[in-house]
Every structure is written in structure tokens, then in C-alpha cells.
Amino acid sequence: MKLPYREAVEAICGANRIMLAAHVNPDGDTLGCVLALTHALRLLGKEAVPFSAHGVPDIYDWMPGASWVQTACEHHDFDLAIICDAGAVNRIGSAVAPAAESARTLINIDHHVSDGLFGDIQIVDQRSAATAELVYHLLRSLQAACHHHLLTNEVAVCLMTGIITDTGSFRFLNVTPHTFSLAAHLQRLGADPAPIAEQVFENRSFAALQLMGLAITKMSISADGQIAWSAISFDDFQRLGAVDADTEGIVSNLRSIKGVKLGILFREVKPGTVRISLRSREGCDVTKIARVFGGGGHKLASGCSVEGTLDDAVGKVVAEATRQVS
């Protein structure tokens, strides 16, 4: 067993109260990891509590254990905190971060290094296609150490969701032979990729499809064709009866345009607050843009928030993106 896994297993075995945290604006990888670990740790008799500051988006509310997720943590008495796929502690949100930082031990599990390493124990490997791959190996190590079956159907479904989400159903460049091998094992455990992919990518609300159409009609593209962006106003959300989670996937469609290296989606979630999602192709590191505005994330997928009007946010971020991409 490699050192960080051994240390993580020892920390888990020695802890009773454990919190697990997803990053803000959660996707299937961070939620899949948090829920898979929660299932496994509860099987071991641990008091395991999953947190997601922004809750669980509708497209993931079918995941086993989704109803367990809490959005804020007032207690600071956890023996162990495990943060999955976040890049930095502040990426789990101000309603959750203090509790994680006050835990006796903090484990960081991630498949990207964006804002520097953190945590007492670090399971970080940029070669992994998803953080779910690393959680899978941790659970196998924990299973061997505790002589307890942990890779249940529920755990397998959660981990498969993480892999499918972060590989775009095995379409992205991050996929390796190991990814397919691991996914094959999860499928043998009962995690069929087809219905999971359908839930994640083909189960949109009517409002979400309306937002997609609106974003496309409002799309702009830079003079050199390398940056595409669109902006959804607070009034747009109100008029369509939509929420921020309904914008899932829009920014990837902006990036999919031929010749575009970077897609940006601006969402005015409330007057004066604009959330920005950035997605890029290989060779364009969007964390450099997100950090300028106090955000973070991963090289090909990052985010940030800007206070002010929607027009101001668009102007500032597009200007910075143009400077970074050119």
C-alpha cells in the first residue's frame, strides 16, 4: 500500500466523526466521491456526514445517498475531514470550510493540482481521469485493512458517476486504459454506465433546455475565434423559472465550437453577483484566469464569482481571458 493511502487508512480507522466535503457548484465527480466514501464509512460504523455548500443539483439527486447531503456545518468537532476534488479548502464554501479546517486531520483527495497542495494527508495524482479513481483505490485499501466489503453497488454507482462526468462519457483526453479497467470492475459490481450517462447528460428540465437555447442566441465570439461566451441575467432566470443548476453543460457547448479554445458562461444568480464558469481545451489553463478573480478549480475547468453588474463582469473576465489566451 502506497504511503498516502496507508496514512489515509490509518486516519479513517482512528476516527469516529468524519465529514466529507464537495466543492461549490458540485459536479458528478465531487459528489460521487463524497457519497461513495459516506456509504463505505457508514458500513464501518463511522459517523460520516457529507456536505455540499450548494446542495445537490437536480441531475444528481438520484444518486444513492443524495438525501444525506447537508449544505452547512455549524459543528467543529470532527475527528477527520475529507475534501474531494476541490483544489483548495476555500472551494468547499464558507459554510463548510471552517469545520473542515478545524478537524483533527484533513485528507485532500484530488486529480488536479491547481492552487497548491493542502491537507495533512494528500492523495493527489494528476494522471487520474477523475478523483473517483483515487477514491476507488482508497476504498480498496480500506477494504483490505478492515476485512469488510465496502465496494457495494451503491458505492460503485457513485464512483461510476464521477468517472462518467469527468471523462464526458469516456470522450476526453484524460481517459487511460486504467480508467476503462476500473470502470469495467465498477460495472461488474452493478454500476451500468448507460443509465448513469443518461441521467447526467440526457435528463434536463424544460427550463434547462430553454436556458441552453437562450445562451446560444446570446453567444458572442472573439475576433480571432478562440473565445466564446454567453451571459444569463437574473431576469432571464426569473422569466424562465430556472435556477443556476439548470445551466449545467452550457459552457461545454460554448467550448465545443470549432476553433474555440475557451468557453465562458456568465450567470447573474442575483443582482450584483455573477458566477463564471470557464472550460478550455488542452493547452489553455483556465485556473490562471479564475485566480485573478479569486476563484480556482482545475486546468480545463474552473470558476469564480464577481461582484457588480453582469456587463462589468463580462467586460473584465473576457478582457483577462483575451490576455491569457493570446
What is the per-residue pLDDT across 21-60, written as a single tens digit (0 to 9) for each? Answer: 999 989 999 999 999 999 999 999 999 999 999 999 988 9
In sequence order, what DSSP letters do the residues of 157-210 get, joined into one string? HHHHHHHHHHHTTTTSTT--HHHHHHHHHHHHTT--HHHHHHHHHS---HHHHH
pTM of the model: 0.86
Identify the pLDDT of residue 1: 66
The length of the chain in residues reads 326
**Percentage of residues in the chain with pLDDT exceeding 90?**
81
What is the rounded average pLDDT of the residues 6-20?
97
Identify the pLDDT of residue 115: 60
Identify the pLDDT of residue 114: 63
What is the rounded average pLDDT of the residues 137-153?
96
- Judge whether residue 122 has pLDDT over 90: yes
Q: Which of 139, 162, 186, 161 is nearest to 43 (CA)?
A: 139
- Judge whether residue 97 has pLDDT over 90: yes
Q: Which of 66, 34, 18, 23 is nearest to 139 (CA)?
A: 34
Phi, psi of 324 (to 5 degrees): -75, -40
Give residue 266's pLDDT band: very low, low, confident or very high (50, 70, 90).
very high
Identify the pLDDT of residue 174: 86
- CA dist 191 to 10, 146, 153, 308, Å? 28, 23, 7, 44
The more confident residue out of 202 and 104 is: 104
Give the integer Cα–Cα distance in Å for 135 and 34.
9
**Which domains, and CATH codes, for the chain?**
3-201 (3.90.1640.10), 206-325 (3.10.310.30)
What is the rounded average pLDDT of the residues 246-270?
93
Identify the pLDDT of residue 299: 80
Strand partners, 305: 275
Helices (H) and strands (E) in the chain, counts: 12, 11
